Chains A and B, each alone.
Chain A
Amino acid sequence: MKKVVVLGSENCVTCTNLKDKIAKMVSDKNIPAEVSKVTDIVEVMKYGVMSVPGLVIDGQVKCSGRIPSDKELNSWLA
């Protein structure tokens, strides 16, 4: 079971899009993962991320400030 956390902020459409994209991918492919989103700034900063959206998988920051490609997501979620 992977723990996927999307880091975002309020009013950030791109961040919501990223979360939806991953949630869809996880349910489409039956990937055992738990997807959540964090918008509390204090929590976001704990990951050392300064540009949203950020993506954290199992405690590791995978990318920040952009929407990763499908290929990247697949390799991270596999």
Chain B
Amino acid sequence: MEMGLLLTSLWLGILTSISPCPLTTNITAISYIGQKVGKPYYVLLSGIFYTLGRTALYTILGLALSLSFSSIPLVSQFLQNNMPYVVAPALILVGLMILDIIKIKLPKFGLKEDSQKNMEKQGLIGAFLLGIFFALALCPVSAALFLGNLIQTKGNVFSLILYGIGTGLPVLVLAFILAFSIKNIVKVYSKIVLFEKWARKITGWVFVIGGVYYLVTTLGFGLNILSWFTLLADFIVYNIFALESGTHLAEALHFFIEDVSKIFFLLTAMTTAVSFFRSKLNPEKVRQYLEGKPKWLAYIMAVLLGAITPFCSCSSIPLFIGFVEAGIPFGVTMAFLITSPMINEIAILVFASAVGGQLAFVYVITGMSIGLIGGILLEKLGMEKYVEGYVYDIRMGKQNIAENGISTFDERLAYAWSYAKGIIKKIWLYIIIGIGVGAFLHGYVPEEFFAKYASADNFFAVPLAVIMGIPLYSNATGVIPIAEALLGKGVPIGTVLAMMMSVVAISLPEMIILRKVLKVRLLAYFTIFLFISFVVVGYLYNLIF
């Protein structure tokens, strides 16, 4: 046993003794021990017995825990095979608990008042029992420290004993002070409280950093966070479920687990980050930017802003009316309406992580071009007359054009976080379904199937993919796993992109909403234009790539 590890155990024990809730029990213990202030050696002896009590309990508890783990064959075998996988996350978890970042409620092993009083009458044995019972009062922080010690020493007896001694040591020291000089006791206590605060913080971070270091060194986790999700899926599929690599089920499950963990992680992180920086941008602002700009500039700005502005489909009507009312040309408004749902900055980031930045870039440029051409074309064809007449009669209130009411850093952060939560609540089902379909394609549908029906040689593959995408409606993020699986099966890029755009941009619910401001004829042209352009895009990219 290394000296360093033993010292760590002692240190963790001391830290336990002065963490908030054992500290209160220790204060009680000292007031009990201090009753016999007149007899210095007796006080000291009580302190020792109290410490022994604590030591006994922690040692037995620790041994019992580690023995029970190793005596259950399944558990011990699992731990042996997967020790690094368990230790590293456990270290991080314990560190976070020590830091009070993760709060876990434990049942309280409290002492009843009367039994506590009973024990106080019984002298040294009482001190010993008090030690045992107070040691049972594990609260989250001390439980975390106890488990931390158990994990890092793998249940070594000496470290358990040292840990126990550590938890009683401050009481012992105070008993000593009490016994021989009573003057400084208050001062010492206030110092301990301050010391504990810092010592606990440092120890917590040491655990977290140690855990991360362990992950990186022993498991070869790179700093590339995306590869972690592959490792996680490897671990769950091949270690926990013990599936054989290469089987249909293993492949599908692996795809599912990796994509669920990865996409939800990325979605949360990126939505929060993006909406933090974007919290000042809203459709009202876009309207102001576009108002009164020369037409060519307005078009370009419309597709750019369309790509980065979030707007929920339930806002497309007020948005449309607001634009028209501000005198923004019809074509520019349509360009914005086409681009905005098709290019979703967060989905693009997730897409880039799944299939590479180059393809994501191609998608963005294509989406913007379709929006631009669509806007110009619909205007040139004189489609404006098919806008419902009442739209032009609406006068928007000017005096109230509002800021959305976010200004300080905290407000922006709160906005970003609640926005991210709202988004996930709204689209999680689409994503799960998308990943499920992707996982099925990945695991169960053989490549030959796609080679036969969806290869570039098949002339009908592209239009069919687009037509299939029309009734299907999903959020942009939900389509990505399907696209990922299809690309993995060798389906040509153009076909996949065409299908993706069709699923995202043409949807029945959106059409029904837009029907309120656009006449059926215009909606039909709108859909036909999108259909043709997606098909063209499909053929074009199948040719190029």
A-to-B contact residues, CB < 8 Å: 8-12, 14-15, 41-42, 44-52, 54, 60-69, 72
Contact = CB atoms under 8 A, between A and B. Distances in A.
Contacts of A66: 404, 415, 418-419
Contacts of A72: 405
B447 interface: no
B457 interface: no
Contacts of A12: 312, 314
Nearest to A11: B314
Contact of A45 (B397, B414, B422, B513): B397
8 smallest CB-CB distances across A and B, nearest first, come from A12-B314, A61-B402, A63-B405, A50-B322, A48-B401, A50-B283, A48-B400, A48-B397
Contacts of B419: 66
Nearest to B512: A11
B430 interface: no
20 contacts: A14-B312, A41-B318, A45-B318, A45-B322, A45-B395, A46-B395, A48-B398, A49-B400, A50-B322, A51-B283, A51-B312, A51-B318, A51-B319, A52-B314, A52-B318, A54-B402, A63-B402, A64-B405, A65-B282, A65-B283
A65 B318 CA distance: 11
A44 B283 CA distance: 14
A22 B245 CA distance: 53
Interface residues of B, number: 35
Interface of B: 282-284, 287, 311-312, 314-315, 317-319, 321-322, 325, 390, 394-402, 404-406, 414-415, 418-419, 422, 509, 513, 516
Given A48-B397, A49-B400, 16 more contacts: A14-B312, A41-B318, A41-B394, A45-B394, A48-B398, A48-B399, A49-B318, A50-B318, A50-B322, A51-B283, A52-B315, A62-B402, A63-B406, A64-B405, A65-B283, A69-B414
A45 B405 CA distance: 18
A6 to B, nearest CB: 13
Given A9-B317, A46-B396, A50-B283, A67 B418 contact: yes
B321 A14 contact: no
A14 B315 CA distance: 11
Contact of B397 (A9, A47, A67, A69): A47
Contacts of A52: 312, 314-315, 318
Contacts of A44: 318
A47 B400 CA distance: 6
B318 A9 contact: yes
Contacts of B415: 66
Contacts of A8: 314
Contacts of B509: 11
Contacts of B311: 51, 65
Contacts of A14: 312, 314, 422
A50 B400 CA distance: 11
A45 B314 CA distance: 14
A33 to B, nearest CB: 18
A18 to B, nearest CB: 11
